[in-house]
Amino acid sequence: MQRPSSPWFSVLASGAQLPVLRLYCFPYAGAGHTVFQHWRAGLPSDIELALVKLPGRGARFGEPRATSLAELAEALAVEVAQAYADGIPFAFFGHSMGALLAFETARQLARQGLSPAQLLVSARTAPLAHGWRERLANLPQAQFLEIIRGMNGLPQELLDNPEWIELFLPIIRDDFALCEDYCYHPAPLLPCPIQVLAGETDASVPLSLLDGWAQESQAECRTWLFPGGHFYLFEQEAELLALIQRLLLSDPLRQVAN
């Protein structure tokens, strides 16, 4: 089978057989597609991984970074729709910023009559709850760096490396700005189920602000909580991947969702 080719994602297949489903993984602020690369070993060959590659980082480091989430969602929707020419059902997983981007990409696709089989949103308050906390992207560097340290998503040796900070902190800051500049607009409900994933002690994602995700789907919306904070997905990776496998390979989802 010809694998989809696009500068927007890296496809990690397992074996030559036709996958049951393609899972697009949308990265969090500052991250590249490689943060999900090792998931290939933790998921069955029935699931093909398509890791989203955003401009301005990783293999696309020399490209200009996006100026809005809407811009990214529009471009990604075009690429996902083209890849769907092979007829393989697909699902979206996004963590933090990636959850918001996956949601808006799903909305763009819905306008074309296309939908993921499932939308998995991780560590992100419901879109309607956007803007509940103070803006962080414009903080002075020392304060902004302290926020990043407190989220426990990066190794301490990187945060103590001045060269790394000079190179990558602007990317993280720009991604925070993308999310903080996001404007929610009402739109028809998504046809796909939404699975909401979160860390029980994530101070940046109050559990009470997860409920609004149910207002974005005409199908079911379920919430799954894990021990840990904003980056629970590192600490609870085995449990998370087991849940993703159960959700994506359940019998109803072996049908094309569109």
Domain boundaries defined on the chain: 9-130+188-253
What pTM was computed for the model?
A: 0.92
Would the pLDDT of 131 be above 80? Answer: no
Token pair 């909580």: residue: 225
pLDDT of residue 255: 39
φ, ψ at 187 (rounded to 5°): -155, 165
Q: What is the mean pLDDT of residues 79-85?
A: 95
pLDDT of residue 253: 44
Q: What share of the chain is helix, strand, coil (3-state, %, to 5)?
A: 45, 15, 40
Q: In this structure, are residues 192 and 119 in contact, taking their beta carbons and an 8 Å threshold? A: yes
Would the pLDDT of 54 be above 80? Answer: yes
| The domain over range 9-130+188-253 is classified in CATH as 3.90.180.10 | no
Q: What is the mean pLDDT of residues 24-41?
A: 95
Mean pLDDT, all residues of the chain: 91
Q: Which of 96, 115, 122, 217 is catalytic?
A: 96
96 is catalytic: yes
pLDDT of residue 4: 65
- pLDDT tier, 3 (very low <50, low <70, confident <90, very high otherwise): low
Pairwise CA distance, residues 121 & 160, whole Å: 31
Q: What is the mean pLDDT of residues 169-179?
A: 93
What CA–CA distances, in Å, run from 109 to 34, 41, 222? 25, 29, 22
